[in-house]
Structure 1
Amino acid sequence: MTRMHLAWPVAAAVLLLTEQATAQPTVPAPVAPSTTEPSNGESPPPPTPQDRSAVPAVRRARTGSNSANYPKPQVQSIFASSSPAKGPLSKIGQSLADKGVYFRFLAVDEFAGSVSGGQGTGVGNSYALPFGADLDLDRMVGIPGAFVHVSMNTSRGSSLSADHAGNAISFQTRYKTYHNLRLAALAIEQNLFDGHVNISGGRVSPLTYFNQSAIYCTFQSNSVCFNPAVVPIQDRALGFFPYGTWGGRIKVSPSKTFYVQAGVFEANTTLNATNGFDWSTRGSTGHQTAVEIGFQSPPKAANPWHLRIGGYHNTSDVGDPYLNTERQPRIAAAGAALMHDGQAGGYVMGDVVGWHLGGDAKRPVTVFGGVIASANDYLPFKGQAIAGVIATGPFKGRPDDTLGLVGSYIRLGSRQVDYLEAARARAGGTDPVRLGEGVFELNYGIAVARGVRINPNIQYVVNPDNLPRPTAVHQSKNILAFGLRVSVDFATILGLPASK
């Protein structure tokens, strides 16, 4: 088992000094929501109503770079306005922004209730309050291209999946196992060479940097939002928001259509139960690494597209779910779990604006999809294939609304299937264990008012996995659930400008 203790703060400090050089300006594609790929200093096209990150609420940093690469409290930018910030605190907010101080405050509530299937029907309701601040050190103290970002988060409530349905894939993205107020991210960022190099790091999560697109969180299912990353999240290969550890990432964008990034992060799941202020490395089990290359269309392309190809590795030991150290079934022979040396995987993801409704550039139809897979059979999940479509302005009279449909096929690891079969047989069950499951969501995003969105949705799971309840005698029947997400961006409502 690889361990990194005192070396982690030193490595993080080095990464902080290096990574700040790679931040790239955002080039949101004219889709809703837009992606966050770099533009190498070129001004982005006009934002769609769902893309708050593209709103020119404040002037850009004098270096020509921005803070689009830092760990955000909410990956998706679901709010936008092309007009200046307005609200009761707009004058104060603009005054603070002129001095380099920006605030964020979002509230998200997610309800989900099943009417059939699973290990039982029921309801769950959870909410999250991510908030934080961004400090532009250029404006504050004259350090060009430098930023400090701090994100806090509290998540509370109940889970339809954990409490009733008994499925590993949650119907509510904002539900977290640990209900506490925690420091989610504390990052230093430095942009160099006019934004062609960005370095960011500190107390951060790998999946806030890698395989990212604002598209995913138009959906409520955890099979898609925040990342379509069921494999690395469920397998504990890569950390995710709000569970930050020491680490950092460097991103280099030599052209407007290409970038490459790499990161190293501490692997320490013992910190998940803390408030995020435990900065020790006592529970470290190794390190996580990730590499990604990205290609994208030129900034002003009529049909923007993005392609991400990445790989990841975690050096932490992994216990076999089925075999013991003698390579015998643990359920029958008992004994300690057979330990494996780490895990690795990769992904290919992309999106493209296929066409525009009524020929209107502000009403794009975006098609997205890809695959993500693990190289190891002893993990809970082996792979995921995803495909979806989002239409912005599905009705001419509702230009800010969205209509989305997404589906995933998620395959279990072969050792996990062996374990589930043995556990069911021991409990007296004879139902077969399915090799994989399908997760689907259809939703409609309603732009209610400035800073307020409501997303009713229907979710359907075919062949649920039963991972949280391995001794269930019967295989779960297909799950039909109805959900509702309410998102309120208090910063927008109050008139606080967003950091660019």
Structure 2
Amino acid sequence: MTNSIYRWPMLASGLLVACPCLAQSTPSDSDKAGSPASPAAQSDAKPQATSPAIFLNNYPKPQVQSTASVAGPPKGPLVGIGQALADRGIYLRALAVDEFAGNVTGGQGRGTANSYVFPFGFDLDFDRLAGWKGAALHYSMNVSQGSSLAVDHTGNAISFQTRYKAVQNLRLAALALEQNLWGGKVNISGGRVAPLTYFNQSNIYCTFQSNSVCFNPAVVPIQDRALGFFPYNTWGGRIKIAPTKWFYAQAGIFEANTSLISTNGFDWSTKGSTGHQTAVEIGLQSADPRARNLYHLRIGAFGNTSDVTDPYLNTRGRPRLGRGAAGGAALVHDGQAGVYVMGDIAAAHMDGDAKRPITVFGGVISATNDYVPFKGQALAGVIVTGPLPGRTNDTFGIVGSYIRLGDRQRQFLQASRALAGGTDTVFPDEGVFEVNYGIAAHRGVRISPNVQYVVSPDNFAKPRAIKRSGDILAFGLRVSIDGAALLGLPAQR
């Protein structure tokens, strides 16, 4: 792959740096995630708003904490310092998340595991810092440590702990320049980023601990390595157009370079590039972000031009492993692609209270190729905010996913089992479910016990397992602490 593929996001960033006069400062309502700032707050040299609404939902987010427990003005021991920094366009953020999981049945083995992550960084509003209208810089670092129940014990591909990462180090997760034009109707963002920080995004997914839902319901693009995800960055950029309050369209192109996963994120060369990742998405949403029946609908497509090695067939199209197999070199395919349709709506409210919505969500994601590990996913769920009187910031969630394996992947697993002497059938699909309760224990602190159940789990991590994995019943616990909210530092959300 040549470097020419990446010239347009780099060139766009360069033009934006050279021409800040093109930018506008008025926010677009289509990008607001909460109550809009007042006109006075937007124009005052020292506004009282905790974050500029124009940048909400546009920058590459750190691992997301629900805003339910941090509503209202900042409170905490550093609120004075935090507001002084925010008045100058500087926003600090830090999030600590610990996830425990242990299974009592099923999988290839029983055990427990614990992982934790510490994403932190800052956001700079160049309008306040230097008078550069509509521009911002976003910087994120990430530390991941710990063990995985799926990797170490059960042997299935879909983790019970979203925050677990195979490469555990301190790394650069995102460095992005953002520019808003024409009153926020056009948003350009690019730099060292990952596609899934922009596409198929919602702040409700990480109510759950299962990796089938959080950060994105993206089993297909993540497991198939079609699209990169936080905290693994490459060169790339995205342009988003929102001509109205209720409609937007966005498209992006990003370097495909899995060799950078094992680095600290500061290797910015393209020598290991294998192709490019692309994604497009159109969205429909409530024109008013405070609408009683708030809704979002996302329709997207994605692709990756990198070669994909067939797990089962050789270059002559014959099985290369198993009894009587032909052997030989693996067949190599030219890229992969997929599509998705996802949405959510506040369908009802507890006791008619607008602050206690019952949000229903779901959708489908499908790969267009049969040689990838996962062919498709369908999911549905519900999140009740304020399920109990007097606990308006707590949440209760249920979600279920049906996940289909790629045909060649299933054939590979079946042949691998046969070579090990096993005869159990490899199921073509599996189900992943989670029930949880999120306790808003303190401002910025959430404790979320959960129960996860996997029906007909795969054994990707142990392909030569003689016996089929039994259904997995696992218990989990997530504790997340939003450092900015706890200390009283205004932060973009």
Q: Partner of 1:381 in structure 2?
A: 374
* CA displacement at 1:22 relative to structure 2: 10
Corresponding position: 1:97 with 2:86: yes
Q: How many residues align?
A: 476
Instruction: Decide whether the 8 Å contact of 2:28 with 2:183 is kept in 1.
Output: no
Corresponding position: 1:176 with 2:165: yes
Relative to structure 1, is the Cα distance of residues 380 and 98 closer, same or farther in structure 2, using a 3 angstrom cutoff? same
Corresponding position: 1:289 with 2:278: yes
Corresponding position: 1:315 with 2:305: yes
Among 5, 8, 13, the alignment partner of 2:10 is 13
* CA displacement at 1:40 relative to structure 2: 11
Distance 1:158 1:499 in 2: 31
Alignment of 1:294-443 (within 5 A): 294-299=283-288, 300-331=290-321, 332-443=325-436
* CA displacement at 1:78 relative to structure 2: 4.1
What one-letter code is carried by the residue in structure 2 that aligns with 1:498? A
Instruction: Decide whether the 8 Å contact of 1:24 with 1:41 is kept in 2.
Output: no
Distance 2:54 2:457 in 1: 45
Among 440, 448, 456, the alignment partner of 2:441 is 448
Q: Secondary structure at the match of 1:129?
A: strand
Among 77, 87, 91, the alignment partner of 1:88 is 77
What one-letter code is carried by the residue in structure 2 that aligns with 1:474? K
Corresponding position: 1:112 with 2:101: yes
* CA displacement at 1:499 relative to structure 2: 2.7
Q: Partner of 1:462 in structure 2?
A: 455
Distance 2:492 2:438 in 1: 25
Q: Partner of 2:49 in structure 1?
A: 58
Instruction: Decide whether the 8 Å contact of 1:237 with 1:314 is kept in 2.
Output: yes
What one-letter code is carried by the residue in structure 2 that aligns with 1:430? T
Instruction: Decide whether the 8 Å contact of 1:24 with 1:40 is kept in 2.
Output: no
Q: Partner of 1:473 in structure 2?
A: 466
Alignment of 1:270-281 (within 5 A): 270-281=259-270
Distance 1:464 1:230 in 2: 14
Q: Secondary structure at the match of 1:330?
A: coil
* Percentage of matched positions with identical amino acids: 66
Q: Secondary structure at the match of 1:420?
A: helix
Distance 1:312 1:8 in 2: 16
TM-score (norm: length of structure 2) = 0.93
* CA displacement at 1:38 relative to structure 2: 2.4
Relative to structure 1, is the Cα distance of residues 57 and 314 closer, same or farther in structure 2, using a 3 angstrom cutoff? farther
What one-letter code is carried by the residue in structure 1 that aligns with 2:478? R
Q: Secondary structure at the match of 2:80?
A: helix
Alignment of 1:184-199 (within 5 A): 184-199=173-188
CA RMSD of aligned residues (A): 2.1
Q: Partner of 1:31 in structure 2?
A: none
Distance 1:430 1:18 in 2: 61
Cα deviation, 1:10-55, whole Å, max 9, x if unaligned, reads 333124368997999586xxxxxxxxx625998289xxxxxxxxxx
Distance 2:24 2:251 in 1: 11
What one-letter code is carried by the residue in structure 2 that aligns with 1:249? R
Q: Secondary structure at the match of 2:242?
A: strand
What one-letter code is carried by the residue in structure 2 that aligns with 1:127? Y
Instruction: Decide whether the 8 Å contact of 2:382 with 2:399 is kept in 1.
Output: yes
Alignment of 1:191-230 (within 5 A): 191-230=180-219
Instruction: Decide whether the 8 Å contact of 1:210 with 1:290 is kept in 2.
Output: yes
What one-letter code is carried by the residue in structure 2 that aligns with 1:143? W
Relative to structure 1, is the Cα distance of residues 202 and 104 closer, same or farther in structure 2, using a 3 angstrom cutoff? same
Structure 1 gaps, min length 5: 28-36, 46-55
What one-letter code is carried by the residue in structure 2 that aligns with 1:229? A
Distance 2:66 2:398 in 1: 19
* CA displacement at 1:376 relative to structure 2: 0.1
What one-letter code is carried by the residue in structure 2 that aligns with 1:189? E
Q: Partner of 2:43 in structure 1?
A: none
Distance 1:303 1:371 in 2: 22
Distance 1:417 1:340 in 2: 17
Structure 2 gaps, min length 5: 18-22, 39-46
Q: Secondary structure at the match of 1:466?
A: coil
Instruction: Decide whether the 8 Å contact of 2:314 with 2:327 is kept in 1.
Output: yes
Distance 1:277 1:25 in 2: 32
Distance 1:22 1:381 in 2: 43
Relative to structure 1, is the Cα distance of residues 157 and 454 closer, same or farther in structure 2, using a 3 angstrom cutoff? same
Instruction: Decide whether the 8 Å contact of 1:153 with 1:183 is kept in 2.
Output: yes
Q: Secondary structure at the match of 2:265?
A: coil
Relative to structure 1, is the Cα distance of residues 60 and 109 closer, same or farther in structure 2, using a 3 angstrom cutoff? closer
What one-letter code is carried by the residue in structure 1 that aligns with 2:488? G
Distance 1:171 1:24 in 2: 42
Relative to structure 1, is the Cα distance of residues 428 and 41 closer, same or farther in structure 2, using a 3 angstrom cutoff? closer
TM-score (norm: length of structure 1) = 0.91
Among 255, 258, 277, the alignment partner of 1:269 is 258
Alignment of 1:29-178 (within 5 A): 38-39=31-32, 43=36, 58=49, 61=52, 65-78=54-67, 80-178=69-167
**120-129 vs 488-497, greater mean Cα deviation:** 488-497
Corresponding position: 1:234 with 2:232: no
Q: Partner of 2:44 in structure 1?
A: none
Relative to structure 1, is the Cα distance of residues 84 and 59 closer, same or farther in structure 2, using a 3 angstrom cutoff? closer
Cα deviation, 1:378-416, whole Å, max 9, x if unaligned, reads 000000000000000000121110000000000000011
* CA displacement at 1:467 relative to structure 2: 1.0
Cα deviation, 1:346-391, whole Å, max 9, x if unaligned, reads 0000001110010111110000000000000000000000000000
Instruction: Decide whether the 8 Å contact of 1:23 with 1:197 is kept in 2.
Output: no
